[in-house]
Structure 1
């Protein structure tokens, strides 16, 4: 009887131990990534055994399922406000934004278990893992990344609306992004990590890294990341999976030099930079065996957690200083361009990039010869210069009609006040001048670029309920970069305001001819100006239609709101009457 009971207990313990293994670990060849159902079931089972772990569901994604956040807290405190009061740091990790790049999903499942079972949770750091971000794409399982070496089956890059969610952070077209914003602005992490797999050239490294581009990161944070945190991560990773900066070649192959990734606000790290969050993206190499890619991601996260625990006090102080500096900052960068005159160098380990006849076309094709590895000093284009800068106003006024912007600002915890009653204000308004559009849409938008604006001082009436946003906030960078039309990822650039580009009123030529003639007689200064323009412009002088249009555009009959950007810039100290 005792022997039978003992065997039963041993068997149950063995089954329990096996249940703690992830689907990746249970696969004999370690070339398997968990399905969405397996991920959810695994975390649910784990959370029932460990009070230091709690699951939170946020929003509803485009596929109709909530975004699940796994939170690990050593002292079992799961209140974000209390965590901040306890002077603890928060790290947010995002997995599966591209489900065909699933290393983070599997590595995080293992790491969560190991931290809990080994009692290794950091004392002063709370860990928040998004189990799967692009649930939509994960459910669309197949073999779409044909150039990648495993796993045997995986999810699709686009979500159910065919959006690349790593281009959606600033515009938030997807409900996934809205849920993400809720998570980020609820837990307010000091450090953010997004796990990926690379495309591109072949080289020896299993792991590459993108960090917030140093020339567009807050200088206070950049000083710490560039001199302390990032070098320490490279040093520690060298012991297991040596790491190099993300490989984006300047002329096709790494030996020509590589370029530092410019993380615009549409991307994870660029959006993090707007919130003064230290942000990284891991990019494991697509051609390395899947198990090595998973273990390299596991190691990176382990080192990141350990260093943040070590420097938790300093990181908290730097975040506070950065926020205070942004509140007082007056000028903001809107766009950047690569500085090719100031080039750094790094030691790089690659493979010979050669040419041979293609078996398909017979023409020369690129291939990398792994039997010919090399170690060289290559150029690293790691410097960017600002190509456009604007000075912030004291405040912006956003008409309530532009509801998506108001909703996004609320999600991002931007402080706003509503006007108590209709108010006419002296403000600066932009009229949109020139801009360019691509021939085909990018992520569902005809993204505006090269935007030119003409500022005009005007009296403009705003209405009760319209929003005033003061630029004395830690989120100034997010505010200015989204509301200034010339910003490379501004809301105007992403077509939020395209309806202002259409003229709504006009005239009948034969009727307006008489009205215009009478108006010019009563306004001889305008007639004089028309004559001067005709003298300078033969095309205008020879076209009755063009002259009628000119008169219309210079008359009080012309609609003032045509191509007028609706967000006002307030420069004066105005005492508004706000709703209580």
Structure 2
């Protein structure tokens, strides 16, 4: 009897511990540690048949990425007629509202049996495990909690810049998860930076101009307006993410251009609606947690109600992308269009700094205001490209091939050696960042020329078809002018380095013989000298000109090694 009572008391203690979290025990002053987060979800897995905690794969921290699945049908896999909502928490663990809000939210839904039957709810308890373990007070501009995780992962990468380049084990595992569950809607929970204002709730969505009209129309005309109305009714009147870091917000600001390096931009490549929720950093932590919980709860309600519409819209978009012929690689803000939105702010004032004695900005919370301010939410394609019938990638580019496979691109190995006529890009010009960004010297403003060439390919090289739903991912990563293409992220930098050259004192005689035997080349040289006085006075430049127009110049220099079959 004593042994049974001891066992019961131990069980009761475990159960009770799982029912309350650090956030509650500290009256909203603290956020859960990594071990507490995982133990909490493990307990719910044991306690409820409708809940399942799985290990998706490895991370740079040496611990597995977990995914918590809620399904009243207990299947825990994508099924026909069921919409998938993916919640991502702790990509920046110093912004932990989503971590605590999700724990409170799922505990309540499970205990009250309120899971919608037509939604598979998938929650990442904490994505950036290395950052979560690196607990401290690094976000000086944030009002609580007392301690929290760090922005960088175990290798100091910002995971919300890694959705295309996937330098981290974390991102590779996350992509595998995303492609397995193929969500219709993604919510990525964050805390804002920047100006001060009255709003607790800000967020941005995937740019409407990037999505297929069926998906974008529902998002902009139904989902967002209803969500905004519900949030306002519950005390969290939202405003678009305040994308303004150079001026005060009342001057207006544009919608955030979420390129594919970000979670919502990556999701858009697969016709998934993305929400990035940004609770205001200087509001008290309990208000931020509650706001995050309300956002998720209202989004789940609407998604569950409109499950059939979401499923149908994504199917239509996937089918359309399979046959789409033209794709945007970059977008620019359409400055001719703007809306006026209600903004609840604080007057921006200036006073002498106690540090420097010079003028400093501050926001006067004793002087709130409500104004209509300009908001620009229209983007237009800047660089467009027509897709080829297929791409060809030599098998040696394994980093690219691995990424394509992980994201569902259909790769067909060549069954035999083949001499093929293809369209090849040559890199004519580019700009390269002077300092590394997330481990890369990123390329931009890439200028290309295209030539028809014969290339010898070999058995095991890959054809990539462009008649399938992953076309946007394939085109935007493989076209070198894409803002987040694999070329932009330095995966092909080896082609930019010349491997052979000449010794001038030897090549002088060879070049003279080339010009003697090739009148057309001599004419090109003379025309260039006549047009460019600097060139005409530079013997080395003229020798280089002849070399580059000779059969000795390597054909692979600056030739982009992903080829187009048109």
Q: SS of the residue aligned with 1:434?
A: strand
Q: 1:325 aligns with which of 310, 317, 320?
A: 320
How do residues 135-534 of structure 1 correspond to structure 2 at under 5 angstroms?
Answer: 135-240=129-234, 241-249=236-244, 251-534=246-529
Give the conservation status (yes or no) of the 8 Å contact 1:250–1:259: no
For residues 192 and 315 of structure 1, what CA distance do their matches in structure 2 show?
12
Q: SS of the residue aligned with 2:474?
A: helix
Q: What 5-or-longer segments of structure 2 have no aligned partner?
A: none
> Would you say 1:50 and 2:39 are equivalent positions?
no
Following superposition, the deviation at residue 92 of structure 1 comes to 1.0
Following superposition, the deviation at residue 17 of structure 1 comes to 4.0
Give the equivalent residue in structure 2 for 1:574. Answer: none
> Would you say 1:32 and 2:30 are equivalent positions?
yes
Q: SS of the residue aligned with 2:84?
A: strand
Following superposition, the deviation at residue 160 of structure 1 comes to 1.7
TM-score, length-scaled by structure 1: 0.94
RMSD after superposition: 1.8
- Map Cα deviations across residues 185-224 of structure 1 (whole Å, 9 max, x no partner): 0111111110000011111111111101112222221100
For residues 232 and 515 of structure 2, what CA distance do their matches in structure 1 show?
78
Segment drifting more, 507-516 vs 214-223: 507-516
Following superposition, the deviation at residue 532 of structure 1 comes to 2.8
Q: What 5-or-longer segments of structure 1 have no aligned partner?
A: 572-580
Give the conservation status (yes or no) of the 8 Å contact 1:95–1:130: yes
Following superposition, the deviation at residue 10 of structure 1 comes to 9.9
- Map Cα deviations across residues 272-296 of structure 1 (whole Å, 9 max, x no partner): 0011101101100111111111111
Give the conservation status (yes or no) of the 8 Å contact 2:267–2:273: yes
Following superposition, the deviation at residue 87 of structure 1 comes to 1.9
> Would you say 1:68 and 2:62 are equivalent positions?
no
Following superposition, the deviation at residue 531 of structure 1 comes to 2.6
> Would you say 1:22 and 2:17 are equivalent positions?
no
For residues 43 and 117 of structure 1, what CA distance do their matches in structure 2 show?
14
**Closer, same or farther: CA 39–324 of 1 in aligned 2, 3 Å:** same
For residues 295 and 539 of structure 1, what CA distance do their matches in structure 2 show?
67
For residues 538 and 112 of structure 1, what CA distance do their matches in structure 2 show?
73
Q: SS of the residue aligned with 2:87?
A: strand
For residues 359 and 519 of structure 2, what CA distance do their matches in structure 1 show?
72
**Closer, same or farther: CA 7–486 of 1 in aligned 2, 3 Å:** closer
Following superposition, the deviation at residue 356 of structure 1 comes to 1.4
Following superposition, the deviation at residue 498 of structure 1 comes to 0.6
Q: SS of the residue aligned with 2:209?
A: coil
For residues 366 and 531 of structure 1, what CA distance do their matches in structure 2 show?
61
Following superposition, the deviation at residue 537 of structure 1 comes to 2.8
Following superposition, the deviation at residue 443 of structure 1 comes to 1.0
For residues 530 and 249 of structure 1, what CA distance do their matches in structure 2 show?
51
Segment drifting more, 510-519 vs 110-119: 510-519
For residues 330 and 7 of structure 1, what CA distance do their matches in structure 2 show?
69
Following superposition, the deviation at residue 176 of structure 1 comes to 0.5
**Closer, same or farther: CA 14–178 of 1 in aligned 2, 3 Å:** closer
Following superposition, the deviation at residue 265 of structure 1 comes to 0.5
**Closer, same or farther: CA 467–15 of 1 in aligned 2, 3 Å:** closer
Aligned residues: 563
Give the equivalent residue in structure 2 for 1:108. Answer: 102
> Would you say 1:563 and 2:562 are equivalent positions?
no
For residues 459 and 508 of structure 1, what CA distance do their matches in structure 2 show?
30
For residues 317 and 18 of structure 1, what CA distance do their matches in structure 2 show?
42
- Map Cα deviations across residues 155-207 of structure 1 (whole Å, 9 max, x no partner): 01111211111111111011100000010001111111100000111111111
For residues 58 and 14 of structure 1, what CA distance do their matches in structure 2 show?
29
Following superposition, the deviation at residue 9 of structure 1 comes to 7.8
For residues 176 and 391 of structure 1, what CA distance do their matches in structure 2 show?
33
- Map Cα deviations across residues 414-468 of structure 1 (whole Å, 9 max, x no partner): 1110111111111111100111122211111111111100111111111111111
Following superposition, the deviation at residue 251 of structure 1 comes to 4.9
Following superposition, the deviation at residue 547 of structure 1 comes to 2.2
Following superposition, the deviation at residue 7 of structure 1 comes to 13
For residues 6 and 521 of structure 2, what CA distance do their matches in structure 1 show?
102
For residues 177 and 285 of structure 2, what CA distance do their matches in structure 1 show?
29
For residues 35 and 6 of structure 2, what CA distance do their matches in structure 1 show?
32
For residues 19 and 498 of structure 1, what CA distance do their matches in structure 2 show?
51
Give the conservation status (yes or no) of the 8 Å contact 1:250–1:257: no
Q: SS of the residue aligned with 1:450?
A: strand
Q: SS of the residue aligned with 1:163?
A: coil
**Closer, same or farther: CA 423–381 of 1 in aligned 2, 3 Å:** same
For residues 10 and 488 of structure 2, what CA distance do their matches in structure 1 show?
62
- Map Cα deviations across residues 463-483 of structure 1 (whole Å, 9 max, x no partner): 111111111111111111101
Q: SS of the residue aligned with 2:208?
A: coil
Give the conservation status (yes or no) of the 8 Å contact 2:194–2:245: no
Following superposition, the deviation at residue 19 of structure 1 comes to 3.1
Give the conservation status (yes or no) of the 8 Å contact 2:199–2:344: yes
Give the equivalent residue in structure 1 for 2:126. Answer: 132
Following superposition, the deviation at residue 521 of structure 1 comes to 2.8
Following superposition, the deviation at residue 11 of structure 1 comes to 10
For residues 14 and 269 of structure 2, what CA distance do their matches in structure 1 show?
47
